[in-house]
Every structure is written in C-alpha cells, then in structure tokens.
Structure 1
Amino acid sequence: MRYISTRGEAPALGFEDVLLTGLAPDGGLYVPESLPHFSLEEIRSWRGLPYTELAFNIMYPFVEEAIPEADFRQMLDETYGVFTHKAVAPLVQLDTNEWVMELFRGPTLAFKDFALQLLGRLLDYVLGKRKEHAVIMGATSGDTGSAAIEGCRRCEHVDIFILHPYERVSEVQRRQMTTVQGDNIHNIAVRGNFDDCQRMVKESFGDQSFLGGKARLAAVNSINWARIMAQIVYYFHASLALGGPDRSMAFSVPTGNFGDIFAGYLAKKMGLPVSQLVIATNRNDILHRFMSGNKYEQHQLEHTLSPSMDIMVSSNFERLLFDLHGRDGLAVKQLLENAAKGPVSIEDYRWKRVRKLFDSAAVDDKTTCNTIREVYEQNQYLLDPHTAIGVHAARACRRDIQVPMITLGTAHPAKFPDAIVESGLTVKPELPAHMADLFEREEHYTVLDNDRADVQAFIAKHWKNT
C-alpha cells in the first residue's frame, strides 16, 4: 500500500516512511492511495472476536509491507493488554438505542490511548530496524500529550517533546504529562493556545535544520496516519456489538481536530454500514459552521470546560476536503491558502454531498453542564464534558430513532472535575487506583514564550544524542 499527500506535490511513500515522516514535505497530510474494502459477509464473520483480533483484521492491510504478521500481532496484544476492561471499548446503554462507547479504559484515561499505545511501539520497531533515532515533537490540547508520553516513554530510539498551552489544560491533564519521569521526556508549556502549539509543530516539520541533521522529527499528533488507522477499529467494534453489519449505525463524536470522526468516515468507506456521523463541538465551532452553513472561517479561540476541543484549526479536516475535491491536491492547497486569509466555501454540490452523512452541533458550557447533570440524574452515569457534548449533539441531530446512536466517550470524568462541580453535582469522580497519587507526584516542565525559535532551541539543546 502506498500513501499520497493531500496537497498533491509530495512523492508517494510506503508505511514505514509515512510513519516516520508525519507531515508531507509539501505541507499536506498522508492518506492511503486506496483503502481496503470489506464485504458484509467478511465483517459479519468477525462477530465475537477479541478486540486485538478485530484490530489485526482491519489494520494489517495498511502495514503488511512493513511489518511481519507475528510482530504486528504482538504489538496489538501489548497495546490493548494494558487496558483495564476486557472488552477494551465497552458499551454503556443510556436509553433505547442510545449508547456510550467508553474509550477511556487505557492507561491515561482518554481515547488517545487506542492509537498512541500502538504508535509508540510502531515507532520504536521501525527506528530500531533502521538503526535511526527520532525526536518526537507534538502539540496537545490536553489528552494527546499524556497518551503520547505513556506510549513512548519506554522507547529506546526516541526523545519526546510535548507542547501544551500554558494554563489552558486541566490540572489532571497537565500532571499526567509532567509527572512522568524519563531522560527522554520533555514537557513544554507555551504561553499561547493550542493552535499556536500546533502551528509550531507543523512549521518545524517543514524546516528541521534546528536538529543539525542528527535526527529526524516524528509526529504523534493525528497528522500521523497511524493515529487515524488505529481509531477506525472501534467503529467496527461498536457496530458488531450492536447487530452490525446487518443494521446501520450512527455515531456522535466529540471532536476538535477532526481525526476521530474522520476515522468513522473511513470505516464507512471500508464497508461498515454507517448512516450518520455527528460532529459534536464546543464554542470553538469552525467545523459546525462549515457543516451547517458551508462557511469555513477562523474565529478567536475561546477557553471552555472542554479544553481538548479548544481548537480552531482542524488539521484532519484537510483529509476530508481531499476526498470532497476528487483527490485533487492542488485544489485543496489553494482552498487552504485562501482559508488562511479569510472565510471560504466549497461548491454547493460538494457541500450537499458531505451533508448526506455528516451533521453537527456546537454546545456551550451551560448546556454541557446541564447534560452532565441530566444524564447522571437519569442513569447514575457520569460523563466528562467532551462526552456530554457528544451526547447532547447526538440527541439534537439524530435522524432515525430506529438506528442505534453511539456517542464516543472520549475521556474519564475524573480528568475534568471543574465541569462536574459546575454542573451542580456533589459526586466527585475518583481517579483509578494507578493514578491515586497523581497530585503528590513531582512535576517537571518548562514554560516558554510563544516563539518557534525559542522552542526549537530548547529541543536542539535537550534531546539526548546531542
């Protein structure tokens, strides 16, 4: 399988190179030249499989030219063996045909563990085979950082530098990153917002001279194709648990960077019957404004009770735009260059085509808190603010009550206690046993100005092979 750039001006690469390259040299994101497609009969035959077996069936076509079958199976067993529920992604019923898929049973209590526990193993495997070293540079709005650090902290061939917006992540999110000890782990708090951090990462991939040619940059953000690949699996998992593929499913996805919901779009293209995908977002609603009115326009970023979605530049949206424009990379490049200058729209027929599958809702903090309180009072089930946004959007946008609606439960409520307090509930979400002493652990992080040169100089100075 070969991978091509969404901007159309970079050479096609194999999986190993895509894994290590992250962002394409033309500024685009890599996508498969073609997708594997599974028949209903084949999908049906996967009912009852353990999660790791299902994951192998869905992901191996993407990696088979690079990784022997036995090695990949071992990676999957190790990746999902650390999850705290045997089902890996259990489903909890809220109402008739309404479900939450718990994606927070991994070591850092967020859905990012599904991809990043695997990504760390993939990177170390490929780098070891090539006898290379990589510097991971990643940006996080809260959850990616801790999941990336947890996934990569035992890697022999990487140093990891995670940028987070200073004082704009929850305390639990910050401590999950900054209390992990390791010579190869570095946390940088940038005096700016997530989009500033993400922009620095993208610009650094475009010019890696600050590393002096001694290492390559590797990506852990969802610009890395391997992240998307791993997230496709749990859409199949949920469908098979609820009667698929003999009935269609609808999914509501809390999303800011569009990666998690793009994985659902790919699941449908690969043969899974999906009738509706709901983009659930907060006041930083650029995706909702596009889906509801065909206007893609950046506004001022706002700080909310759902900080992991405090994003205004949704990187993975480019991957969908690439499909919508018939995989015309130059058209996508032009559109995004125009979007950097002001509002843009796409042709009406393209927008109407995407609306056949996608709906969207933007949910403010008050409604988020009301949803947390209502669901707890009705079900004695506690939602984190991101999942609450997903549940509210699912109910607001639902097209057919006969179709199971599955909200992706993206994080454990203990990560966002402020939202629980704000909702008026007196219940206190407890951290799991392996994190019970989180607030007693020593933190290590460096605060830097919102300046790419300063951040690059810090990385150049501190990666361990210098």
Structure 2
Amino acid sequence: MKYISTRGQVEAQGFIDTVLMGLADDGGLMIPAEIPHITPETLKEWSKLSYKELFLQIFALYTNQEIPDEDLKNMVDKSYASFRDSEITPVNKIDDSLYILELFHGPTFAFKDVALQFMGEFYSYVSKKQNKIIHILGATSGDTGAAAIQGVRGKEGIKICILHPHNKVSKVQELQMTTVDDQNVLNLSVKGNFDDCQKIIKDQFADLEFKSKHNLRAINSINFLRILAQTVYYFYAYFQIEQGDQPKKVNISVPSGNFGNIFSGFLAKKMGLPIHKLIIATNENNILERFVKTGEYKPGDFKSTHSPSMDIQVASNFERYLYYFLDQDAAKVSAIMKKFQDDGKIVFNAEDLVRVQADFVAYGASNEQCLELISKYKDNSDYLLDPHTACGIAAYEAYNGEEEICISFATAHPAKFNEAIEQCDIKQEFPAEIKNLFSKSQHQLVIDHNKEDIVRELEAFYEK
C-alpha cells in the first residue's frame, strides 16, 4: 500500500511517512493509492470481533507491516484504556428504526478521542523510534484540541500547540484545553473564527521550510490517520444492528463540519461496507447541505450556533471526496482547487449533481430545531442529545425511509454543551471529570488574528 496526494505532485509514500507528512507537500491531501475491498465473507468474520480486534484488522490493510503487530496492539490497548465503556463505541437502540452510536466515552467526552488517543500513542512511538522531537500544530472548533492535548500531554518528545477561536467554543471545551498546565502544551485563543485558525494552520504546513525546520506534524483530519481510525466505528456500528430474518437497508447520519467524519464513512462504503445512505447533518453553517442540494460549494456568512464544533464554512476534507468524484484525476483536482482559491466557489453542473446525490444526502438543522429535538427525545425516549447529535437526529428524521434503519452518531456528551441544554429547561448531572474543570486555573494566550504574531509565538514555543 502506497499513499499519494490528491494533487499528484508528491512521490508515493509509505504509511508512517504519510502520517508524518500530514498535509501533502504539494498542498493536497494524502490518500491511499488503492482502496482495499472487503468481501462479504470477510465482513461476516469481522462482525464477531471486538472493537480493538476490528481496529487491528482494518489497520493491517493499510500499514504495509511498517509497524510490528505487537507494537500496534500495544498502541491500541493504551489508546483505549481510558475509555469509560468496554465496547469503546457502544450502540444504543432508541426504537426499531433508530440506533445511536455513542462516540463520547473517551477522556474528553467527544468522538475526536477515538482517533486522537491513538494518534498520541502513534506520535510518541515514532518519536522514540526516530529519536526526534515532534511539534504538533492544530486548529480546533472545540473538540479536536481537547482530545489531541489529552492524547499527548506530558509525553516525552512531543510539543503541541492548538489554535481555537476566542469565545466561540463552549465553556467546557475551553476548560478542557486551557486547564492543562503541562509544559509541552500551548493554547492560543485567536480572535476570529475556526476558518481563520484553520487557514493559518494550512499556511504553516504549506511553508515547507517552516514545516521542516520545526518537524511539524498535523492532528487535524487533514491527516489520513484520523480518517482511517474513524472508519473502524462505521464497521463496528453496522455489525451491532439487530437485523432479524429480513435485513433492512442501513443508513448512517453524521454531524459534519470539516467533512472528515463523513469521509471516513465514504471510505468504509468504498471498502465494501453496505451502507445505504450516507446522511450529512449540518447546522446553519450549511455549506455541505447547499453543495449536495444545489451543486454549489461556496462559503456563506459565518453563524455562531448551539453546535459550535460544526461552525465551519470551509471543509478541509472536501478535497478528498473531490478526488474520487473526479475519477482520481489529480490534475483536475489541482485545477478546481486553484479555481476555488481564486473565485471562492466550485459549481457542479446538473449531471454532476446527480452523481453527488448518489453518494450523499444532506440536511441543515436550525438552532430552534436543534433545541426542539433535544426536548423531544428527552421527553419521549429519556435520551439526552447534545446539540451536534440533535442535528444528526434532524437529518435522520428528514431522510430515513420506510424499511430502513439509521445509525445516528452521538459525537459528544451533552455535558460539553450545557449552554444549549439549559435553554431546553433540562438540568443535567455533570460527570465528575467535567465538574472538576470549573475549579481549575486556565492557561492560554489570547491573541489577535494576525499570522505574524501567531508564528512568532509558535517559534518561541518550539524553540524552548
């Protein structure tokens, strides 16, 4: 298995070098040169595996045996030792047509833990093997930062800097990042939105001199390791569904902002997992919904919502989908991404739109609808949704058909977004780990959205 760039100007890489590269050196995103196909017979065998066993089987198809089996198993065991449920990502049946995949049982109570706790172990492993300091740089709309920091805090050979938009994440998300006092962690609270933070990150990874000088590594979903780790729970969730004698079509509804999580589902489907509909759930920052419905990919006006982790206008992983949509033609991808940079939009014709709609359906939930669904499912099913999960449920209600089952992803614990829960007149009990955050002091630098100032802080931190 070799890895190539969506823009075609990077020499084929092995697995470890692909992960270390993060953003491809030509500005594209790394993807496998070929996607392995899983037969129905293998799927049947996999359906009996535990989560960690399934993880090892899937990764074995992609790692080129660059990591010895025992080393990989040790990393997986360490990664999921802190999860509060033995199934890692348990499935909760709501009724005969709806199942909820709970992805919030990791240390920071969000789905990002599933990939990022493993990524922390991976970077620590590589740092020791190569005897090199690794400098991790990432941007977050809330959950990525906390999960990444938790995955590497205190680890020898690793420093991490996370940019988050000032006052545009939930209080719990902010505290999970900024109450960490380890010397290898820097939090920059940027006066701007997530897209501003993300652009700075991409610019620094595109600066190959800066990237090489500081041994810069990525934790955002531009890194293929994040995508691959997330495919595991698509397979695992599918295998947990009670199908009976007459199997139904299985849809999956995914709260989506940066297109990484839903692309993991697209990858799982291309591998052979028989998903019927991949449902993109968004909030009022609905660039992905507008793309699927109209064929126009164009950022709109930024809106702050009850689901801040999806308050994103430019979805980094969209380019990976574009590569496959364009029949793996890297030259066409490069041309379209250049046009997007120049014109600020991509427009697909009617014929192309039919193909897009064969891959996805999409629904954007309003703030009001989000709160209504939180109240509805608490009252009717005694299940408390966080606002991102509520967007997923809104999309499920819009698109799940008769004789279909939907697995909707619960991407965060509701305690992380109590601001929205309180508006529903619901009082929830905080887990002790979250409750304790409010008594801790914070460590962050509030900084203007100024690239030069941010780079200066990065240089100082990495050179300590």
Report the Cα distance in structure 2 between the residues aligned to 1:116 and 1:86, rounded to whole angstroms.
18
Give ranges in structure 2 of 5+ residues lacking alignment. Answer: none
* Equivalent position of 1:323 in the other structure: 324
* Equivalent position of 2:22 in the other structure: 22
The amino acid of 2:446's aligned partner reads V
Report the Cα distance in structure 2 between the residues aligned to 1:85 and 1:193, rounded to whole angstroms.
34
**Partner secondary structure for residue 141 of structure 1:** coil
Give ranges in structure 1 of 5+ residues lacking alignment. Answer: none
1:438 aligned onto 2:453: no
**Partner secondary structure for residue 48 of structure 1:** coil
Report the Cα distance in structure 2 between the residues aligned to 1:52 and 1:21, rounded to whole angstroms.
26
Deviations 1:237-281 (A, max 9, x none): 011111579654210000000000100111111111101011000
1:13 aligned onto 2:13: yes
Report the Cα distance in structure 1 between the residues aligned to 2:368 and 2:198, rounded to whole angstroms.
28
Q: CA deviation at 1:214?
A: 4.3
Query: Does the 8 A contact of 2:25 with 2:208 survive in 1?
Result: no
Report the Cα distance in structure 1 between the residues aligned to 2:210 and 2:26, rounded to whole angstroms.
19
Query: Does the 8 A contact of 2:249 with 2:403 survive in 1?
Result: no
Stretch deviating more after TM superposition (148-157 or 195-204): 148-157
Summarize the alignment of residues 356-375 of structure 1 with structure 2, pairs less than 5 Å apart. Answer: 356-375=358-377
Q: Scaled by the length of structure 1, what TM-score is found?
A: 0.96
Deviations 1:385-424 (A, max 9, x none): 00000001111012x332220101000000001111222x
* Equivalent position of 1:262 in the other structure: 263
Q: CA deviation at 1:455?
A: 0.8
Summarize the alignment of residues 60-71 of structure 1 with structure 2, pairs less than 5 Å apart. Answer: 60-71=60-71
RMSD: 1.5
* Equivalent position of 2:205 in the other structure: 205
* Equivalent position of 2:408 in the other structure: 407
* Equivalent position of 1:53 in the other structure: 53
Q: Scaled by the length of structure 2, what TM-score is found?
A: 0.96
Query: Does the 8 A contact of 1:192 with 1:450 survive in 2?
Result: yes
The amino acid of 1:408's aligned partner reads F
Summarize the alignment of residues 316-355 of structure 1 with structure 2, pairs less than 5 Å apart. Answer: 316-340=317-341, 341-355=343-357
Report the Cα distance in structure 2 between the residues aligned to 1:304 and 1:181, rounded to whole angstroms.
29
Report the Cα distance in structure 1 between the residues aligned to 2:134 and 2:86, rounded to whole angstroms.
33
Query: Does the 8 A contact of 1:44 with 1:244 survive in 2?
Result: no
Deviations 1:135-181 (A, max 9, x none): 11100000000000001114222110000000100100000000112
Summarize the alignment of residues 441-460 of structure 1 with structure 2, pairs less than 5 Å apart. Answer: 441-460=440-459
Q: CA deviation at 1:56?
A: 0.7
Query: Does the 8 A contact of 1:287 with 1:296 survive in 2?
Result: yes
* Equivalent position of 1:191 in the other structure: 191
The amino acid of 2:374's aligned partner reads I
**Partner secondary structure for residue 218 of structure 1:** strand
Report the Cα distance in structure 2 between the residues aligned to 1:166 and 1:432, rounded to whole angstroms.
25
Summarize the alignment of residues 231-310 of structure 1 with structure 2, pairs less than 5 Å apart. Answer: 231-243=230-242, 248-310=249-311
The count of aligned residue pairs is: 461
Summarize the alignment of residues 154-233 of structure 1 with structure 2, pairs less than 5 Å apart. Answer: 154-210=154-210, 214-233=213-232
Report the Cα distance in structure 2 between the residues aligned to 1:111 and 1:244, rounded to whole angstroms.
26
Deviations 1:28-81 (A, max 9, x none): 000000112111111111223211001111122211332001110111111122
Deviations 1:293-328 (A, max 9, x none): 111111121111100000000000110000000111
Q: CA deviation at 1:208?
A: 4.9
Query: Does the 8 A contact of 2:374 with 2:390 survive in 1?
Result: yes
The amino acid of 2:348's aligned partner reads I
Query: Does the 8 A contact of 2:294 with 2:353 survive in 1?
Result: no
* Equivalent position of 2:44 in the other structure: 44
* Equivalent position of 1:120 in the other structure: 120
**Partner secondary structure for residue 230 of structure 2:** helix
Q: CA deviation at 1:210?
A: 4.7
Change (3 A) 1:244 1:188: farther
Report the Cα distance in structure 1 between the residues aligned to 2:461 and 2:346, rounded to whole angstroms.
41
Change (3 A) 1:64 1:10: closer
Stretch deviating more after TM superposition (335-344 or 366-375): 335-344
Query: Does the 8 A contact of 2:248 with 2:403 survive in 1?
Result: no
Report the Cα distance in structure 1 between the residues aligned to 2:159 and 2:218, rounded to whole angstroms.
12
Stretch deviating more after TM superposition (350-359 or 442-451): 350-359
